[in-house]
Amino acid sequence: MPSGKRARQQRQAAAATAPPPVRSKGVGGTRARQASPRALAIAGGVVLVIVIAVVLGVVLSSGGGSGGSGIVTSSDMAGLPATGSQNWTGALPGSAEANNLFKGIPQNGLTLGDPNAPVEMEMFIDVQCPVCQAYEVGSLPTIVKKYIRTGKVQLHLKPWAFLGGQGSQSFTGRLGLIAASNQDRGFEYAKVLYNNQGQEESGWLSGQEMAAIGASVDGLKMSQWQDDTNSSGPPATASQVDKLANQKNVQGTPTIFVGCTNGKLQNVTAPSAAPTLQETEQAINAAVCK
pLDDT digits (tens, 9 = 90+) for 128-178: 999 999 999 999 999 999 999 999 999 999 999 988 777 789 999 999 999
Percent of the residues in the chain that have a pLDDT greater than 90, as a whole number: 69
Report how far residue 290's alpha carbon sits from residue 286's, in angstroms, rounded to the nearest whole number. Answer: 13
Residues 6+ apart with CB under 8 A from 290: 118, 260
CB 275 within 8 A of CB 252: no
CB 147 within 8 A of CB 112: no
User: Does the predicted TM-score (pTM) go above 0.85?
Assistant: no
Determine the pLDDT at residue 11. 43
When pLDDT is averaged across residues 232-254 and rounded to a whole number, the result is 95
When pLDDT is averaged across residues 115-124 and rounded to a whole number, the result is 97
When pLDDT is averaged across residues 234-247 and rounded to a whole number, the result is 96
Residues 6+ apart with CB under 8 A from 52: none
Reported as a pLDDT band with limits 50, 70 and 90, residue 63 is very low
Q: Which of 228, 230, 193 is nearest to 213 (CA)?
A: 193
Statement: residue 60 has pLDDT above 90: no
Determine the pLDDT at residue 69. 59
Show the beta-strand stretches assigned E in 181-273: 255-260, 266-267
Statement: residue 247 has pLDDT above 70: yes
pLDDT digits (tens, 9 = 90+) for 9-58: 444 444 444 443 332 233 333 333 333 444 434 444 444 434 334 333 33
CB 35 within 8 A of CB 19: yes
Determine the pLDDT at residue 259. 96
Reported as a pLDDT band with limits 50, 70 and 90, residue 78 is very high
Helix crossing, 207-215 with 186-195: angle to 10°?
A: 120
**Average pLDDT of the chain to the nearest whole number:** 82
Report how far residue 243's alpha carbon sits from residue 250's, in angstroms, rounded to the nearest whole number. Answer: 10
DSSP string, 101-140: HHTTS-EETTEES-TT-SEEEEEEE-TT-HHHHHHHHHTH
When pLDDT is averaged across residues 84-107 and rounded to a whole number, the result is 97
Determine the pLDDT at residue 273. 84
Q: What are phi and psi of 159, to 5 degrees?
A: -75, 105
Report how far residue 63's alpha carbon sits from residue 6's, in angstroms, rounded to the nearest whole number. Answer: 65
Domains of the chain, earliest start first = 95-286 (3.40.30.10)
CB 146 within 8 A of CB 114: no
Percent of the residues in the chain that have a pLDDT greater than 70, as a whole number: 76
Determine the pLDDT at residue 166. 79
Determine the pLDDT at residue 290. 72
Q: Which of 53-67, 68-82, 175-189 is least confident? A: 53-67
